[in-house]
Each structure stands twice: as C-alpha cells, then as structure tokens.
Amino acid sequence: MSFEKEVKIYFVRHGETQYNIEKRMQGFCDSPLTDRGISQAKSVGKGLEDIEFTAVYTSESQRVIDTANYAVGHRNLPTKTDPRLKEMNFGVLESLLASEISEQYGDILEKLFALNDMNMAPPDGESYNQLYTRTTSMIKEIIENHQNEGGNILVFSHGVTIGFYLMQLTQMTGFPHHDNCSVSVVTYKNNQFEVETIASTDFRDQFQ
C-alpha cells in the first residue's frame, strides 16, 4: 500500500499597496505595491530562501504577481496564476473608503465582517461561502498536482482569502489578521490537513 507524500503549502499575503495606505476597500480592484510593499516582498523572499520549493501559485491580481516576483527573485520555479486565488470580490464597495461606504451603504461593513451570515454578499460582490468554494477548489488542485512527489509549495494570495480559508480549516471563531507578507503554513498528508503557522511575520521581519 502506497502513501502519498506530504505537501506543505506556504501562503503569503501580498506586500503593502497604495490602497492599503489609503484604507480603501481592495478586493478584485487593484493598486500598486508601495516602496514598503516591495521591501516586504523582498524580505519575505530572503526569509524563505533556505526552503526548497517546487512550484509557485499566485492570484492573478497584479499586486500579488509583483509580490511573488520580488519574493521568488532569481529562483527558477514553475509559476501559475489562477483567478481562484484572488481576494474576495467586494462588488460596489471596491476602492471606497470606509466613510464613503458608510455614507452610501450604511452598516454593511459591520454586517459583513461580523461573520454571522456566510451567504451575505455586497451588491455585485461575492459571499464568504463563494470565496471558500473557489479557494478550496484551487487548494485541492494544488494538492493533486503535487501529492505524488510531495514538497513545499508557495502560494501568494490575499488577506481575506487566506484568512477565511484558515478560519474554516481550524474552525476558529475569529478572523485571523494577515499583515502584508505574513506567512501561513499548512501541511497535507493522507487526507489530513494540519495548520502549522498562521500569519507569521517572522520570515519577513528578520530581513527588514
């Protein structure tokens, strides 16, 4: 009887962006990495450089692709972008300030982040359940791609996407905050997931 090999996934949130600084709602919409964000990406890359990775997967948002490029650096690794790793789609709330959202849509943010209704979605956006469905679909595909050989996989994505996936995996009641270029580590073997690390900034900070 053969057992599949362990797949270890390192989830990395993108570096700081212009909209992060301005505190604008940033899901499907995009804004460029700041100089600090670029520095964070390079630093987390250095923090991970002693780990041998076999592949890289990224959200198709440019802020994530840029983060991955800075972090991976000179490593020659097969890289695939996929829309299923994108941030939650906030619909009409995209690119707005919290004050603008409050003026136009009342307490929708409070209701959304209360996490009481996983089927609630902003107008023209998506729900947590829809986000989780596409995220898990992608993670399943990544595991299937690598479970015969095993190894370490880099996945660059977004704060809510990574956070909600881990929240469901660990059955946490609270939402884990993911700082820019924080790292979360999940292992998979013999149909079992184990969350080793959640939103650690150690990889990034040792080279900042």
Structural domains counted in the chain: 1
Specify if 115 maps to a domain: no
If 0-12 CB within 10 Å is exposed, 13-18 middle and 19+ buried, where does residue 110 land? exposed
Residue 6 has pLDDT above 50, yes or no: yes
pLDDT at 24: 98
For this structure, is 196 an active site residue? no
CATH number at residue 138: 3.40.50.1240
Specify if 26 maps to a domain: no
pLDDT at 29: 98
The end-to-end CA distance of the chain, in Å, is 47
For 129-164, what is each residue's pLDDT tens digit?
Answer: 999 999 999 999 999 999 999 999 999 999 999 999
CA 97 to chain centre: 22
For 20-43, what is each residue's pLDDT tens digit?
Answer: 999 999 999 999 999 999 999 999
Domain span at residue 61 reads: 7-18+33-90+127-205
Residue 93 has pLDDT above 50, yes or no: yes
pLDDT at 4: 74
Share of the chain above pLDDT 70, in %: 99
Question: Cβ–Cβ contacts within 10 Å for residue 180, how many?
Answer: 23
For this structure, is 14 an active site residue? yes
Specify if 185 maps to a domain: yes
Specify if 109 maps to a domain: no
Specify if 116 maps to a domain: no
In the structure, what pLDDT confidence band is assigned to residue 3 with cuts at 50, 70 and 90? low
For 43-75, what is each residue's pLDDT tens digit?
Answer: 999 999 999 999 999 999 999 999 999 999 999
Residue 1 has pLDDT above 60, yes or no: no
pLDDT at 208: 82
If 0-12 CB within 10 Å is exposed, 13-18 middle and 19+ buried, where does residue 140 land? exposed
Among 87, 94, 146, 158, the active-site one is 87
Phi, psi at 102, each rounded to 5°: -65, -40
Residue 2 has pLDDT above 60, yes or no: no
Among 4, 6, 14, 22, the active-site one is 14
Specify if 108 maps to a domain: no
Specify if 167 maps to a domain: yes
For 158-208, what is each residue's pLDDT tens digit?
Answer: 999 999 999 999 999 888 999 999 999 999 998 999 999 999 999 999 988
pLDDT at 206: 93
Specify if 152 maps to a domain: yes
